């Protein structure tokens, strides 16, 4: 296994783990203070809209399209020209984001109607009006976080992975503090969450500025145009779609969930949050490191290193993703009860959230592989192929949402999202194979088999020895954490011990 790949991945995993743990703490406070109701549904919609666009303009399409351009400029141009490219792209991005933010703030009720039309057709307009007011506060987050993502992409290209990975911690801290303290001083307490998002975005952007100054790559405002901007436009539009299909699918879930019973959006949100923990630690980490390294290797025409990077990413994805998938499915109820079932978040909400978590968890490997496979095309400048796969996956998700949502309500929406991710991942690999870019190696097949056997052994242990949900319900907070933590730790020991007994090997 390439040591630099492992080191870079390890740094991002550590920082991302800290961020995601704080994210769960954040959601714990939101669940405890505000529960799962029509009011929280309104907040999640107002937050999901800029958060969805963040995935497009931020670490999604923008970063994926920008990093290969910057890597090429760094390898083949002077530092003055590299800075010039950064300046022009940052300036154009800033102006576009300001325009989008101003328009959205003005027409926020129309935006809410577009993304959660069920609020508008409810018997009263409380949810609709609250979501519209919240969106005016949360949407500027898109401006701050997109500039933060651009800064993070620059730092990643210069091998500074820790700072961008740590930055999301600040958003979680902001929302936690707002939930605890600011909510007490507002006429509508839940509005504190919207302000927490706003201040968190400001903090994230300000945090990265000193590090950009340190490497002498702080963007500056410039006038005129640059060829790099045109190249970015050409690559970004397809990338907007290809790398963000899962987010589009989640947004479609939200639209349809707004038509279901009150609380459905919140149930999906809390289960999605637990899916995001392993997905961020494994999938997004591998995507971030892979894209930076694949872009370098493609620019240097180092085909052997290029293929090795893909193999490394898929190997790590398999070894860590399979047990996480099993854990999310088998421990869904204990996870939801331990993290969220307090005060305003009742047993019914916990049950409904655990059901959708099982549905989301079953698709974890597909979500991870989409994150790993899509950047391969982007690193070589092929933005069209992922779009083909993405369009098919998104259309499939819409049809599956309508069918499964009708029969299984919010759980059906989660199942549809997982199936569409599987379709997306399968198509991406099909095109990689068809274009002779990458084929699964014998070593990778062996790794998959050993990880599958080890995961099966771990699953048997969990089924036999895990505590019943009723025990978690009767237990105190500390006892719940100890019960769940013990199960996870012992399961991990059994899994990795099984791998060792199977003599798991990685590419040298």
Domain boundaries of the chain, sorted by first residue: 3-501
The 10s digit of each residue's pLDDT in 311-351 is 888 888 889 999 999 999 999 999 998 888 877 778 888 88
pLDDT higher than threshold 90 for residue 62: no
Euclidean distance between CA atoms 424 and 392, whole angstroms:
7
Euclidean distance between CA atoms 244 and 374, whole angstroms:
10
First to last CA, the chain: 5
**Percent residues over pLDDT 90 in the chain:** 31
Q: Pick the range with the lowest mean pLDDT from 386-400, 419-433, 464-478.
A: 464-478
Average predicted confidence (pLDDT) for the chain: 84
- Please count the CA atoms within 13 angstroms of the CA of 371 that sit on its side-chain side: 30
- Please count the CA atoms within 13 angstroms of the CA of 489 that sit on its side-chain side: 6
Q: Pick the range with the lowest mean pLDDT from 122-126, 220-224, 264-268.
A: 122-126
Cβ contact 68:381 at 8 Å: yes
- H helix or E strand, kind and range, residue 420: helix 384-434
* 303-330 vs 264-278: helix crossing angle, rounded to 10: 130
In whole angstroms, what separates CA 407 from the centre of its chain? 28
At residue 506, the pLDDT reads: 43
Cβ contact 287:321 at 8 Å: no
At residue 292, the pLDDT reads: 67
At residue 7, the pLDDT reads: 64
Cβ contact 134:175 at 8 Å: no
Cβ contact 292:157 at 8 Å: yes
Binned at pLDDT 50, 70 and 90, residue 244 comes out as low
Most confident of 196-210, 254-268, 281-295, 476-490: 196-210
Joined together, the tokens standing for residue 283 give 């999938």
């Amino acid at each position: 296994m390439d040591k630099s790949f492992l080191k870079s991945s390890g740094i991002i995993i550590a920082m991302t783990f800290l961020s995601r743990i704080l994210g769960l703490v954040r959601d714990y406070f939101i669940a405890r203070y505000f529960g799962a109701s029509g009011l929280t549904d309104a907040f999640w919609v107002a937050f999901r809209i800029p958060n969805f666009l963040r995935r497009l303009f931020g670490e999604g399409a923008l970063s994926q399209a920008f990093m290969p351009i910057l890597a090429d400029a760094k390898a083949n141009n002077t530092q003055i020209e590299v800075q010039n490219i950064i300046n022009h792209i940052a300036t154009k991005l800033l102006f576009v984001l300001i325009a989008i933010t101003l328009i959205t703030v003005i027409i926020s009720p129309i935006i809410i109607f577009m993304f959660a039309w069920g609020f508008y057709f409810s018997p009263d307009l409380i949810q609709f009006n609250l979501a519209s007011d919240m969106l005016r506060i949360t949407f500027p987050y898109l401006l701050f976080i997109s500039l933060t993502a651009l800064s993070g992409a620059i730092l990643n290209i210069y091998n500074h992975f820790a700072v961008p990975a740590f930055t999301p911690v600040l958003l979680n801290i902001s929302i936690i503090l707002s939930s605890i303290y600011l909510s007490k001083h507002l006429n509508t307490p839940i509005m504190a969450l919207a302000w927490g998002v706003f201040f968190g975005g400001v903090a994230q952007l300000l945090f990265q500025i000193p590090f950009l100054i340190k490497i002498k790559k702080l963007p500056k405002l410039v006038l005129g145009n640059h060829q790099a901007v045109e190249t970015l436009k050409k690559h970004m539009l397809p990338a907007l779609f290809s790398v963000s299909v899962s987010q589009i699918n989640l947004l479609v879930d939200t639209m349809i969930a707004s038509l279901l019973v009150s609380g459905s959006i919140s149930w999906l949100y809390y289960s999605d949050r637990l899916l995001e923990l392993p997905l961020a630690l494994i999938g997004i980490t591998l995507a971030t490191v892979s894209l930076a390294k694949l872009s370098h290797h493609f620019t240097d025409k180092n085909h052997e290193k290029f293929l090795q990077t893909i193999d490394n990413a898929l190997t790590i994805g398999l070894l860590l993703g399979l047990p996480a998938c099993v854990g999310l499915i088998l421990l869904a109820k204990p996870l939801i009860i331990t993290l969220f079932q307090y005060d305003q978040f009742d047993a019914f909400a916990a049950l409904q959230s655990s059901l959708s978590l099982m549905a989301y968890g079953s698709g974890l490997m597909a979500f991870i592989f989409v994150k790993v496979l899509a950047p391969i095309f982007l690193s070589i400048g092929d933005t069209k192929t992922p779009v083909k796969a993405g369009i098919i996956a998104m259309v499939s998700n819409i049809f599956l949402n309508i069918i499964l949502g009708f029969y299984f309500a919010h759980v059906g929406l989660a199942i549809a999202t997982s199936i569409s991710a599987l379709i997306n991942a399968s198509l991406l690999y099909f095109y990689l194979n068809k274009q002779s870019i990458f084929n699964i190696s014998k070593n990778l097949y062996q790794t998959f088999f050993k990880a599958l056997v080890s995961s099966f052994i771990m699953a048997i242990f969990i089924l036999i020895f895990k505590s019943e949900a009723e025990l978690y319900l009767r237990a105190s907070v500390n006892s719940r954490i100890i019960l769940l933590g013990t199960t996870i730790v012992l399961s991990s020991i059994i899994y990795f011990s099984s791998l060792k007994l199977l003599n798991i090997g990685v590419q040298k």
